[in-house]
């Protein structure tokens, strides 16, 4: 497989650079559910090595996303203060690289899903948790209009909640293999209580420590923008405050949900509507369940080696959220 990727990558870069490239250290790393990751160095004529990463669509991703849109989003973010990856080249339909692909600058650092409740000293973990909150606020403070994102992404306006609910219900129905009354019940409640968005921001849609590169205590990159879109900022805030994500973002007795919401309000200068946030937290759990439905479909279709299905924990958390707010 490496030989095929190596050959395809060489030909692709030769076409883009206008000369035969020297590729060093091509290696596949990790086995993510969303992309194949291949790291390598592009050695320039003067001997300078440019660290890059090739991210190819896998045979069985959980959710279909568009490489061209992601590439445009990353390019639009380059002038901003956000530590988004620097996008170098795009093969949107896989003509050159076999599958839709992006090549991006490779930043230093490591991802650690458990860093907030990991082995570091408590004060250091609490500081990182606050920094992650600030980083999410920075995403929402991006001037997406000035950056040209309005020409790349649709603005759903105050209907952001209904827009996302329709999107994920569509994914559910096309991938669903069995009756899931819990999700039908959730859909009815979510439809009936969808809040109007107070403003439109750039939404990351998968914000978590596992998508943040750290070098020591310094954030070097916020990764995985493939689900990014315009919408309600409470979508991201609901994602990070839902019970299923608690240990990724909160520290018992030190950095609780109220602390995160309060700091977010201070950084953004906006008030958080708690009723609307509760809806988005319930939606986040529903979205997690739909991703698991898609994972099972991918496994049975032979596009994934790992089976998924909505777990008792996810469905129980979703039903508890509905009961609490009914």
Q: Which H, E and C letters describe 204-239, residue by residue?
A: CCCCCHHHEEEECCEEEEECCCCCCEEECHHHHHHH
Q: What are phi and psi of 273, to 5 degrees?
A: -80, 110
In a domain, 110, yes or no: no
Q: What are phi and psi of 130, to 5 degrees?
A: -65, -40
What's the confidence (pLDDT) of residue 16? Answer: 95
Give the list of residues 6+ apart from residue 31 with CB closer than 8 angstroms, or none: none
Q: Are 83 and 221 in contact (CB under 8 A)?
A: yes
Would you say the C-alpha torsion 138, 139, 145, 147 has a positive or negative sign?
positive
Query: Can you give the pLDDT at residue 3?
Result: 67
* Domain at 123, CATH number: 3.90.1200.10
Q: Are residues 140 and 39 in the same domain?
A: no
Residue after which a domain boundary falls, among 105, 138, 154: 105
Query: Do 192 and 283 have their domain in common?
Result: yes
- The answer to whether residue 289 sits within a structural domain is yes
pLDDT of amino acid 301 = 74
How many residues does the structure list for the chain? 326
Q: Answer yes or no: do 216 and 123 share one domain.
A: yes
**What are the pLDDT digits (tens) for 236-257?**
999 999 999 999 999 999 999 9
Question: Could you tell me which residues are beta bridge partners of residue 103?
Answer: 54, 89
Provide the angle, in degrees to the nearest 10, between the axes of the packed helices 312-325 and 274-300: 160
Are 316 and 184 part of one and the same domain?
Answer: yes
Of 177, 153, 175, whose CA–CA distance to 163 is shortest?
153
| Domain region containing 300 | 115-325
Same domain, yes or no, for 119 and 208? yes
In a domain, 8, yes or no: yes
pLDDT of residue 67: 84
Domain assignment present for 26: yes
- State whether 101 and 194 are in the same domain: no
| pLDDT at res. 255 | 98
In this structure, are 13 and 133 located in the same domain? no
Tell me the CATH number at 66: 3.30.200.20
pLDDT for position 326: 76
Question: What is the tens place of the pLDDT at every residue in 9-43?
Answer: 999 999 999 999 999 999 998 745 557 889 999 99
**Do residue 20 and residue 140 come from a single domain?**
no
CA distances from 7 to 53, 96, 100 (A): 16, 10, 16
Final residue of a domain: which of 105, 129, 156? 105
186 falls within a domain: yes
The burial of 69, by beta-carbon neighbours within 10 Å (0-12 exposed, 13-18 middle, 19 or more buried), is given as middle
Ramachandran region, residue 205 (left: φ > 0; alpha: ψ -120 to 50; beta: rest): left
Contact 175, 294 (CB under 8 A): yes
Tokens of 23: 């590729």
Q: Are 93 and 138 in a shared domain? A: no
Select from 105, 131, 158 the last residue of a domain: 105
Low-confidence ranges of the chain (pLDDT < 50): 31
- For residues 101 and 126, membership in a common domain is answered with no
Residues 123 and 100 in one domain: no
Burial class (CB in 10 A: 0-12, 13-18, 19+), 252: exposed
Q: What is the pLDDT of residue 140?
A: 98
Q: Give the CA radius of gyration of the chain.
A: 20
CB 133 within 8 A of CB 264: yes
Question: Which pLDDT belongs to residue 34?
Answer: 59
* Domains held by the chain: number: 2
Residues 96 and 123 in one domain: no
Output the DSSP codes for 116-180.
Answer: GGSSS-HHHHHHHHHHHHHHHHHHHHS-TTTTTGGGTS---GGGHHHHHHHHHHHHHHHH--S--
């Amino acid at each position: 497989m490496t030989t095929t990727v190596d050959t395809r990558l060489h030909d692709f870069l030769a076409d883009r650079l206008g000369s035969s490239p020297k590729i060093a250290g091509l290696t596949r790393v990790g086995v993510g559910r969303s992309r194949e990751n291949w790291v390598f160095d592009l050695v320039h004529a003067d001997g300078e090595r440019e660290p890059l990463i090739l991210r190819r669509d896998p045979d069985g991703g959980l959710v279909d996303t568009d490489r061209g849109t992601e590439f445009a989003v990353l390019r639009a973010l380059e002038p901003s203060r956000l530590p988004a990856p620097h996008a170098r080249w795009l093969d949107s339909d896989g003509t050159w690289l076999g599958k839709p692909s992006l090549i991006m600058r490779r930043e230093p650092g490591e991802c650690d899903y458990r860093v907030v409740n990991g082995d570091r000293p408590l004060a250091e973990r609490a500081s990182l948790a606050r920094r992650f909150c600030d980083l999410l606020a920075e995403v929402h403070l991006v001037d997406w209009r000035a950056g040209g994102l309005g020409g790349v992404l649709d603005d759903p306006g105050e209907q952001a909640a209904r827009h996302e609910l329709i999107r994920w219900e569509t994914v559910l129905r096309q991938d669903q293999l069995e009756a899931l009354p819990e999700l039908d019940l959730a859909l009815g409640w979510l439809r009936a209580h969808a809040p109007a968005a107070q403003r439109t921001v750039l939404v990351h849609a998968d914000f978590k420590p596992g998508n943040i590169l750290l070098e020591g205590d310094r954030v070097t990159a916020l990764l995985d923008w493939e689900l990014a879109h315009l919408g309600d900022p409470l979508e991201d805030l609901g994602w990070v405050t839902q019970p299923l994500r608690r240990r990724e973002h909160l520290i018992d007795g030190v950095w609780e949900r109220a602390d995160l919401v309060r700091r977010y309000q201070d950084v953004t200068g906006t008030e958080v509507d708690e009723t609307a946030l509760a809806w988005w937290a319930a939606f986040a759990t529903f979205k997690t369940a739909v991703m698991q439905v898609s994972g099972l479909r991918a496994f049975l279709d032979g596009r994934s080696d790992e089976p998924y299905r909505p777990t008792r924990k996810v469905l129980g958390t979703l039903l508890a959220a509905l009961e609490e707010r009914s």
